[in-house]
Amino acid sequence: MRTENPERILRLNAVLDRTGLSPATLYRKVQVGTFPKQIRIALRCAGWRESEVNEWMRNPMFYQANDATR
């Protein structure tokens, strides 16, 4: 039995529902580095790592995206 949970990828609507942000605010925060960046899933498909969204939700006021961890 696996005890480790696999990383989930959240699509835009799921992220908006969880955070309460508008699309414009979400993308503005991504651009300035105060929200995690999207990851490419396919040619025309992207999403966010659930663990990074959860990290942002624990401390949204002081979150800073760290590109070095990717």
* Residue 4, φ and ψ in degrees, nearest 5: -90, 130
39 domain-assigned: yes
The pLDDT confidence band at residue 3, using thresholds 50, 70 and 90, is low
1 domain-assigned: no
Is residue 69 over pLDDT 60? Answer: no
Task: Say if CB 15 and CB 55 are below 8 A apart.
Answer: no
41 domain-assigned: yes
Report CA 18 to chain centroid distance, whole Å: 10
For residue range 5-53, what is the model confidence (pLDDT) as tens digits?
789 999 999 999 999 999 999 999 999 999 999 999 999 999 999 999 9
CA dihedral 10, 22, 18, 9 (to 10 degrees): 10
18 domain-assigned: yes
Question: What one-character DSSP code corresponds to residue 61?
Answer: T
43 domain-assigned: yes
pLDDT at position 14, please?
98
What share of the chain has pLDDT > 70, as a percent?
90
